[in-house]
Structure 1
């Protein structure tokens, strides 16, 4: 089991989850992998009780190589201006955060969209 807590910002929407500041949510493994390392979140894996871990040891070993294979596949989605215009503020702010920005520094929708497009261009140009 995995949990995540939004520690910066007001709200964050990702993969069907809406996070509110300082509220812990139980999340799936793929959401954990996506958010782990994001400065706006405190993520943790909640260990199973000792009795269960003995029976789960073998599958966990099998899962680890799969986890390594999944991470490179989780590349940043490239959003078009049209897609971004169709999103609500929370969704746009979540993308800004994913790209390392601070949504509170962006005044309105047009600035959020411009920031996202600029950051995507920089990342794909590297």
Structure 2
């Protein structure tokens, strides 16, 4: 079993999970592998399955592939961020979704007073990414 706790920001949405600050959430192995090493999260593997010979022999090996996958994480992020949202789509999005997207773009949702400021930030960041090719 794997868990993750959001330790920075207010909310974060990834792979169908919405994380809220300081709330522990049970996650699947693939989500654990994706989030482990992310500075916004504290991820833990709580138990090692007894019937899994790979983890029985060397339980620390699970940590090494996760660390090696960190560069892959950077490769995957631009693919997820390639979706360019229009102002209308952002207005239809709930506050949690907007804030999670702000975190994905490297912003701090607590800096914005209202929906208009959140949307302006997202649109500006998307334009910057298009110009830089990220």
Q: How many residues align?
A: 120
Q: Partner residue of 2:116?
A: 110
SS in 2 for 1:121: helix
Q: Partner residue of 2:12?
A: 12
Q: Partner residue of 1:54?
A: 53
Alignment of 1:72-91 (within 5 A): 72-74=75-77, 75=79, 76-81=81-86, 82-91=88-97
1:99 is aligned, of 91, 105, 108, to 105
Quote the offset at 1:26 in angstroms: 1.4
TM (norm. structure 2) is: 0.67
Aligned residues of 1:38 and 1:98 also touching (Cα < 8 A): no
SS in 1 for 2:9: coil
* Deviation string, structure 1 residues 35-73 (Cα, Å, up to 9, x no partner): 334332212344514x4342568xx9xxx6xx96x7535
* Deviation string, structure 1 residues 16-46 (Cα, Å, up to 9, x no partner): 2222322211112343344334332212344
Gaps of 5+ in 2: none
* Alpha-carbon RMSD: 3.2
TM (norm. structure 1) is: 0.70
SS in 2 for 1:42: strand
Gaps of 5+ in 1: none
Aligned residues of 1:85 and 1:113 also touching (Cα < 8 A): yes
